[in-house]
Amino acid sequence: MKRAIFKSHGDPAKMIEILEEKDPVPGPGEVRVRNLVMTINPADLLAIQGQYGAQPMTLPATPGVGAYGVVDALGHGVSQLKVGDAVLPVGSGLWADAVILKERMAPKAPAGCDPEQAALMRANPATAYLMLTDMVKLEAGDWIVQNAANSNVGRMVIRFAHELGLKTVNIVRRGDVAKALRSDGADIVIIDEGQDMAAAISSATSAMPKLALDAVGGSATEALGAAVMDRGTVVVYGLLSGETNQLNPRDLVFRDVKLRGFWLFDWYRTANRQKMHDLHSFLEAKLAKGILQTDIEARYPLDHVREAVAHAARDGRNGKILLKGNNDA
């Protein structure tokens, strides 16, 4: 088998390399999955750079939190899966053409789905949906605001919010993405040009947002905190700026603005089987309707992981970068 590893932190295109090993053997309750598609997310690049909040305990480490694969070996006691089943691995370390997973961490992929879209089905759409439904109680007509709105998570937030009857303010740094966001259902798109963001949001909406979603950190968190209503909530789920989150004491103390974090891996780590089933059923239904359709800019064989991560780090991309396993589907 082959897997991507990094032995120290730094530029992902320089740190990442391919390691060849013997195929792993599943133990009791485990399955071996041959990954055919692997996703590259900002968190993966930040982890290699040493800037992600949850760093691997030891190095070398393998990145990757999204994949589509096929079960090709079973450990003793596996009862819900069989060899040949297509699955969507849950966990980390998925930039490998073979991985060992507990059976419950290998939910079946939707029947007849596109492998690439299925690989992208869980991480970003699940993050978007759970932030809209699990953080605060929202009702139709409520406003939310988010930065990095042209990211894959951001676009899923817009689509789900539109279905839920929520109104969205969407902050981006590029004017050329506004049309696509409006086609997703965005109500307001604001180009960040260094203006007073709280004032810009207030002038664009009929009511102050109840919820803000922050993928950037640093001063961007403070701007969102100033923009939400009294007792509103800012949810931090990304660290794109690499800066410590800031919140003005006036908003924290006198307006009771709440600052929370969201990490999908932790949700999966603590969710029971029924919650996981419900989430996957929801995402499968949305995938079948095309609501989760994600633009893909390029695909690279796993052997070309350095070129892939360099491409993923470029500014101005208009789609995801994927890794493909050697047994390409």
Q: What is the pLDDT of residues 210-237, one digit of tens each?
A: 999 999 999 999 999 999 999 999 999 9
The values of phi and psi at residue 42, to 5°, are -55, -35
Asked if the model's pLDDT at residue 251 lies above 90, the reply is yes
Residue 22 banded pLDDT, cuts 50, 70, 90: very high
Q: What is the pLDDT of residues 258-291, one digit of tens each?
A: 999 999 888 988 888 899 889 989 999 999 999 9
**3-state DSSP assignment of residue 148:** coil
Please name every residue paired with 101 in a beta bridge, in sequence order, or none if there are none. 31
Distance between CA atoms of residues 65 and 89, nearest Å: 8
* Cα–Cα distance list, 231 to 55, 139, 248 (Å): 32, 16, 14
User: Is residue 95 in a domain?
Assistant: yes
For residues 78, 130, 159 and 215, what is the CA-based torsion angle, rounded to 10 degrees?
-110
The encoded tokens of residue 113 equal 């789905």
**142 and 248 belong to one structural domain:** yes
Check which CATH number belongs to the domain holding 239 and give it.
3.40.50.720
Q: Where are the alpha helices (DSSP H) in the chain?
A: 12-15, 42-49, 115-119, 123-134, 152-164, 178-184, 197-204, 219-227, 249, 264-270, 273-288, 305-312
pLDDT for the residue 328: 44
Contact criterion met (CB below 8 Å) for 88 and 67? yes
What string of DSSP letters covers 182-243?
HHHT-SEEEE-SSS-HHHHHHHH-SS--SEEEESS-THHHHHHHHHSPTT-EEEE---TT-S
User: Is residue 193 in a domain?
Assistant: yes
**60 and 81 belong to one structural domain:** yes
**103 and 14 belong to one structural domain:** yes
The alpha-carbon radius of gyration of the chain (Å, integer) is 20
State the average pLDDT over residues 17-40.
97
Average pLDDT, rounded, for the chain: 94
User: Is residue 29 in a domain?
Assistant: yes
**138 and 98 belong to one structural domain:** no
Please name every residue paired with 183 in a beta bridge, in sequence order, or none if there are none. none
| Domain, as residue range, for 155 | 123-264
**228 and 259 belong to one structural domain:** yes
% residues pLDDT > 90 (the chain) = 83
**10 and 78 belong to one structural domain:** yes
| Residue 68 annotated as catalytic | no
**222 and 307 belong to one structural domain:** no
User: Is residue 87 in a domain?
Assistant: yes
DSSP code for 35: E
Strands 99-102 and 30-39: antiparallel
User: Is residue 276 in a domain?
Assistant: no
**29 and 81 belong to one structural domain:** yes
Check which CATH number belongs to the domain holding 47 and give it.
3.90.180.10
**130 and 258 belong to one structural domain:** yes
**257 and 136 belong to one structural domain:** yes
pLDDT for the residue 266: 87
Distance between CA atoms of residues 250 and 248, nearest Å: 5
Q: What angle do CA 118, 132, 42 make, to 5 degrees?
A: 50
User: Is residue 282 in a domain?
Assistant: no
Distance between CA atoms of residues 125 and 118, nearest Å: 11
Q: For the beta carbon of residue 8, count every other beta carbon within 10 angstroms.
A: 10
State the average pLDDT over residues 175-189.
96
pLDDT for the residue 316: 82
**79 and 204 belong to one structural domain:** no
**131 and 254 belong to one structural domain:** yes
Marked catalytic residue, from 52, 68, 237, 268: 52
Provide the sign of the torsion angle of the four alpha carbons 214, 220, 225, 229, taken in this order: negative
User: Is residue 286 in a domain?
Assistant: no
Q: Is the peptide bond before 60 cis (omega within 30 degrees of 0)?
A: yes
What total number of domains does the chain contain? 2
pLDDT for the residue 327: 59
Please name every residue paired with 73 in a beta bridge, in sequence order, or none if there are none. 32
pTM: 0.86
